[in-house]
């Protein structure tokens, strides 16, 4: 077991070191949601009024509404970026080093996944800290309570990224998939607008959003931030994460060619 934990530790340290040495990655992880929060939200505040919906108990500003969605967006980008690095690693080599370690492959992939979630959570808290400066904040308990949700959502999205990286052989293809995955997943969710608003415009898109696991990821973060239990969201996030991971692990199996 010691061997497992040692490997877990060095994989985590490597990911953290890479994150802190790549300042551009950190800045873009921070700037992207801030642009949404400070520019997009301000512009659309009037157009996109939000009625009282769970878990909120009163009228809220649009900035407050999209905050959990932007946290999930950070984890979505981080999950995809991390899998992008896996494709890159496999093309240039370091992934081979990891996969030839004398440990079960699922553990190596899980360690890599968890390390990237750790980085994603750091990005989210950095974003939330900057958001406070602009008056968009949660309660103190909210900051603590979202952590398990962030970890769960991060693992699910990281597993999705892992799955994509296992089927994509070249970086060029991956760049295309980023556009075909990130944008639909993000926009077809409750991150930027409540689903009832979507239903008013299109029943079909409403159902698509309802089938999108990312919707439940956003809602899990939202409900956790307001100390409200969300068993359905939790089950869907956990179930999707397990399915994505098992599929990725299967596709990374050396017996497959």
99 binds other proteins (CB under 8 A): yes
Could you tell me which residues come within 8 angstroms of residue 58 by beta carbon, excluding any fewer than 6 positions away?
52
17 binds other proteins (CB under 8 A): yes
3-state helix, strand, coil in the chain (%, to 5): 80, 0, 20
Q: Phi and psi dihedrals of 51, rounded to 5?
A: -85, 180
Q: How far is the CB of 19 from other proteins (least distance, A)?
A: 12
* CB nearer other proteins, residue 13 or residue 144: 13
- Total residues contacting other proteins by CB under 8 A comes to 27
32 binds other proteins (CB under 8 A): no
2 binds other proteins (CB under 8 A): yes
As given in the structure block, the two tokens for residue 51 are: 């009625």
169 binds other proteins (CB under 8 A): no
The DSSP secondary structure of 121-157, one letter per residue, reads: HHHHHHHHHHHHHTT----HHHHHHHHHHHHHHHHHH
* Residue of the chain from 47, 52, 133, 255 that contacts other proteins (CB under 8 A): 255
102 binds other proteins (CB under 8 A): yes
Q: How far is the CB of 90 from other proteins (least distance, A)?
A: 10
The residue assigned the tokens 């157009």 is: 47
Q: From 9-17, 40-48, 125-133, 178-186, give the range in contact with other proteins by CB under 8 A.
A: 9-17
As given in the structure block, the two tokens for residue 3 are: 């061997």
Distance, CA of 145 to CA of 141 (rounded, Å): 6
139 binds other proteins (CB under 8 A): no
What's the maximum distance between 2 C-alpha atoms anywhere in the chain? 57
* CB nearer other proteins, residue 98 or residue 146: 98
Q: Which residues bind other proteins (CB under 8 A)?
A: 2-3, 6-7, 9-11, 13-14, 17-18, 21, 92-94, 96-104, 254-255, 257
């Amino acid at each position: 077991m010691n061997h497992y934990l040692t490997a877990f530790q060095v994989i985590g340290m490597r990911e953290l070191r890479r994150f802190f040495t790549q300042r551009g990655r950190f800045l873009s992880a921070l700037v992207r949601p801030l642009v949404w929060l400070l520019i997009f939200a301000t512009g659309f505040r009037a157009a996109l009024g939000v009625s009282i919906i769970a878990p909120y108990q009163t009228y809220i500003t649009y900035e407050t509404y999209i905050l959990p969605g932007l946290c999930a967006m950070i984890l979505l980008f981080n999950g995809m970026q991390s899998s992008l690095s896996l494709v890159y690693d496999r093309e240039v080599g370091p992934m081979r080093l990891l996969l030839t370690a004398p440990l079960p492959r699922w553990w190596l992939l899980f360690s890599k996944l968890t390390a990237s979630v750790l980085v994603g959570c750091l990005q989210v808290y950095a974003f939330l800290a900057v958001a406070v400066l602009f008056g968009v904040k949660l309660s103190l308990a909210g900051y603590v309570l979202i952590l398990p949700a962030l970890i769960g959502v991060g693992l699910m999205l990281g597993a999705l990224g892992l799955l994509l990286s296992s089927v994509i052989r070249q970086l060029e293809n991956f760049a295309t998939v980023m556009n075909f995955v990130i944008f639909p997943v993000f926009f077809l969710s409750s991150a930027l607008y409540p689903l009832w608003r979507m239903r008013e415009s299109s029943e079909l898109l409403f159902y698509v959003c309802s089938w999108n696991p990312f919707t439940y990821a956003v809602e899990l973060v939202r409900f956790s931030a307001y100390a409200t239990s969300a068993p359905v969201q939790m089950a869907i996030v956990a179930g999707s994460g397990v399915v994505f991971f098992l599929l990725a692990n299967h596709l990374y199996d050396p017996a497959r060619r």
